[in-house]
């Protein structure tokens, strides 16, 4: 389909068409599209911009990834589709491994997402041959690798579901989530929740990584000061205030 | 996939799996899934229940459909998938025609959605052979039939996009929208906007139709009293108040 550039939702429409293509290729699942839509709604309520508290969460997350001894970025279909290249870049910057973990797992689909990440430049992608099970998850997402997520101390999980985020925390890992819904179970369970849209958050984090690498004192302070429930409450307050503003506008 | 009944989002998960199947059958498109996800997010913010002002909008909508001389229900893939049977039932109750109109239109897909509605019991479904173009829409959705939407005075458009809702209003029709986002262009353009989830709204409207049929005085009063922007403001206020409540809960 051709999308007119005049359309008020041009950017969203272009991303939607790209995601549709990814469904046909088997990278994204139909239910992954529903999750994308939920994100769109929350992003709309946030004003489709990176808020100040999201920036703070992003910078703290980068500091934590740099501090980690075994950081891993967990990649699912939506993440691969939306920003595969940027994930590869960030992984290099912070020295993290990439592991593919899917909600709707089949060998074929895992291989497709791994190859997608490899085409985006990733080396040594984990996930094709899981050799450990994360406790506390009944579904296929329990699959993990000893080299990767199973032994990781810090895991970045963009677009994760609540069950797995909670299980990762229970397994003693620091969990960094990227989730546009500040009320989700994932958002509440994570150690650091970035309430921002993925394709805005990851490039921000790449930029931050270069300067934070040279500044251990700032890294220390960021981690020390960060309070996730406070940060989440701020995101919620931003949405609430925006709704109030939009309601006023509607009346005027 | 097997969905455990213990899962906190059991009902949503079952609907998601059904919608996934509908994508495979070609009834629902991948971008239709994104729209479903946006709806899920707003429904979550509304508390996943029919609010009092939604009930009022539903009853007024039924009154308007009963008053209409040529009422038509416009059906797209998501509507057919989510509540084909109920739409057929409502159409019979209010004497409305059913016309299939798709954002992603191909002859094959129109035929699939029409057949889906016919299997749900619909007779004389329109839309396979459009013979008129609704002015003001550049896309395929301009297609309409003289027997149906093109000549209708009242059109019920569940899950409509902004462009088409605006074009229908400009064409002089009374438009009833069902849209969970009270801030959408569709919600603002419509004559009556029902801010409720489709599978709750349509059964409510079926029940209302039986009692309203026998009560012309109530029908008249409902239509006279209804103010759409006031009703929308109430939905927005409900979401805002709920966010405030959830934010308090989060802090506690």
pLDDT per residue as tens digits for the range B104-144: 899 999 999 999 999 999 999 999 999 999 998 888 889 99
DSSP annotation of A150: G
The answer, yes or no, to whether residue A111 has pLDDT greater than 60, is yes
pTM for the complete prediction?
0.93
- The pLDDT, as a whole number, for residue A128 is 96
Q: A-chain residues within 8 Å CB-CB of B33?
A: 30-31, 33-34, 37
* Stronger pLDDT, B84 or B137, i.e. the higher one: B84
* Alpha helices in B171-214, H assignment, sequence order: 185-189, 198-213
Cα–chain center distance at A153: 17
Q: How distant is the Cα of B160 from the closest Cα of chain A, in angstroms?
A: 15
Radius of gyration (Cα) for chain A, nearest Å? 18
Q: What is the mean pLDDT of chain A?
A: 93
Edge-to-edge strands of the sheet including A174-178? A97-100, A71-75, A154-158, A174-178, A192-194
Q: How distant is the Cα of A119 from the closest Cα of chain B, in angstroms?
A: 24
Q: What percent of chain A has pLDDT over 90?
A: 83
Nearest to B33 among A33, A104, A233 (CB): A33
DSSP annotation of B151: G
Long-range contacts of A111-117, Cβ-Cβ distance < 8 Å, separation of 24 or more? A112/A25, A112/A26, A112/A27, A113/A27, A113/A75, A113/A76, A113/A77, A113/A80, A116/A27, A116/A80, A116/A81, A116/A84, A117/A75, A117/A80, A117/A84, A117/A87, A117/A88
Specify the range with the lowest mean pLDDT, choosing from A207-216, B9-18, B40-49, B243-252: B243-252
Kindly indicate the confidence band of residue A31, based on its pLDDT and cuts at 50, 70 and 90.
Answer: very high
Q: What is the mean pLDDT of chain B?
A: 93
Average pLDDT over every residue of A130-157: 93
* Alpha helices in B26-76, H assignment, sequence order: 30-46, 52-67
* Residue A25 in contact with partner chain B when CB distance is under 8 A: no
Q: A-chain residues within 8 Å CB-CB of B229?
A: 250-251
Q: Give the DSSP H/E element, type plus range, for residue A154.
A: strand A154-158
* Residue A245 in contact with partner chain B when CB distance is under 8 A: no
User: Which residue carries 């993290």 as its tokens?
Assistant: A96
* Alpha helices in chain A, H assignment, sequence order: 10-25, 30-46, 52-67, 77-94, 107-119, 162-170, 185-189, 198-213, 216-225, 228-251
Q: How distant is the Cα of B239 from the closest Cα of chain A, in angstroms?
A: 8
- The pLDDT, as a whole number, for residue A250 is 64
Neighbouring C-beta atoms of residue B129, cutoff 10 Å: 10
List all residues 6 or more positions away from B34 whose beta carbon is below 8 Å from its beta carbon: A16, A19, A33, A34, A36, A37, A40
Specify the range with the lowest mean pLDDT, choosing from A118-122, A237-241, B198-202: A237-241
DSSP annotation of B1: -
* Residue from B19, B28, B37 to probe the interface with A (highest A Cβ count within 10 Å): B37
The answer, yes or no, to whether residue B216 has pLDDT greater than 80, is yes
Comparing alpha-carbon positions, the chain B residue that sits nearest to A140 is B1
Q: Which of B27, B1, B29 is nearest to A24 (CA)?
A: B29
Grouping H, G, I as helix, E, B as strand and the rest as coil, residue A128 is: coil
Average pLDDT over every residue of B53-60: 98
Kindly indicate the confidence band of residue A197, based on its pLDDT and cuts at 50, 70 and 90.
Answer: very high
**Which residues 191-220 of B have a C-beta within 8 angstroms of A?**
none
The answer, yes or no, to whether residue B98 has pLDDT greater than 60, is yes
Q: Give this complex's ipTM.
A: 0.91
Interface A-B, measured as beta-carbon pairs within 8 A, has a size of 117
- The pLDDT, as a whole number, for residue B151 is 97
Helix axes A77-94, A30-46, angle to 10 degrees: 70
Q: What does the block give as tokens for A226?
A: 């960060």
Neighbouring C-beta atoms of residue B214, cutoff 10 Å: 8
Kindly indicate the confidence band of residue A97, based on its pLDDT and cuts at 50, 70 and 90.
Answer: very high
* Stronger pLDDT, B3 or B228, i.e. the higher one: B228
Strands A143-144 and A132-133: antiparallel
- The pLDDT, as a whole number, for residue A140 is 84
Q: How distant is the Cα of B191 from the closest Cα of chain A, in angstroms?
A: 15
Q: Give the DSSP H/E element, type plus range, for residue B193.
A: strand B192-194
Q: How far apart are CA A154 and CA A175, in angstroms?
A: 6
Q: Are B37 and A40 in contact (CB under 8 A)?
A: yes
Q: How far apart are CA A103 and CA B3, in angstroms?
A: 12
* Residue A171 burial class via C-beta count within 10 angstroms: exposed 0-12, middle 13-18, buried 19 and up: middle
Q: A-chain residues within 8 Å CB-CB of B41?
A: 37-42, 181
Q: What percent of chain B has pLDDT over 70?
A: 96
- The pLDDT, as a whole number, for residue A104 is 85
């Amino acid at each position: 389909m051709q999308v007119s550039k005049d359309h008020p939702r041009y950017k969203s429409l272009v991303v939607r068409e790209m995601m549709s293509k990814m469904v046909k290729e088997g990278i994204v699942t139909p239910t992954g599209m529903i999750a994308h839509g939920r994100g769109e709604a929350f992003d709309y309520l946030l004003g489709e911009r990176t808020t100040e508290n999201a920036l703070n969460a992003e910078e703290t997350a980068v500091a934590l990834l740099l501090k980690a001894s075994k950081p891993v970025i967990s990649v699912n279909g939506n993440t691969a589709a939306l920003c595969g290249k940027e994930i590869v870049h960030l992984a290099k910057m912070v020295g993290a491994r990439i592991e593919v973990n899917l909600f709707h797992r089949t060998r074929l689909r895992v291989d497709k997402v791994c190859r997608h990440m490899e085409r985006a430049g990733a080396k040594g992608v984990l996930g094709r041959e899981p050799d450990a099970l994360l406790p506390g998850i009944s579904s296929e997402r329990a699959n993990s690798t000893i080299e990767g997520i199973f032994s990781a101390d810090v895991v970045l999980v963009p677009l994760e579901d609540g069950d797995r985020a909670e299980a990762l925390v229970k397994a003693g890992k620091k969990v960094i989530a990227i989730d546009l819904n500040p009320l989700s179970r994932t958002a509440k369970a994570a150690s650091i929740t970035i309430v921002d849209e993925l394709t805005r958050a990851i490039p921000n984090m790449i930029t931050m990584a270069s300067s934070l690498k040279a500044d251990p004192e700032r890294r220390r302070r960021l981690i020390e000061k960060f309070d996730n429930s406070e940060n989440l409450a701020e995101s919620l307050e931003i949405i609430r205030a925006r709704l109030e503003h939009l309601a006023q506008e509607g009346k005027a």
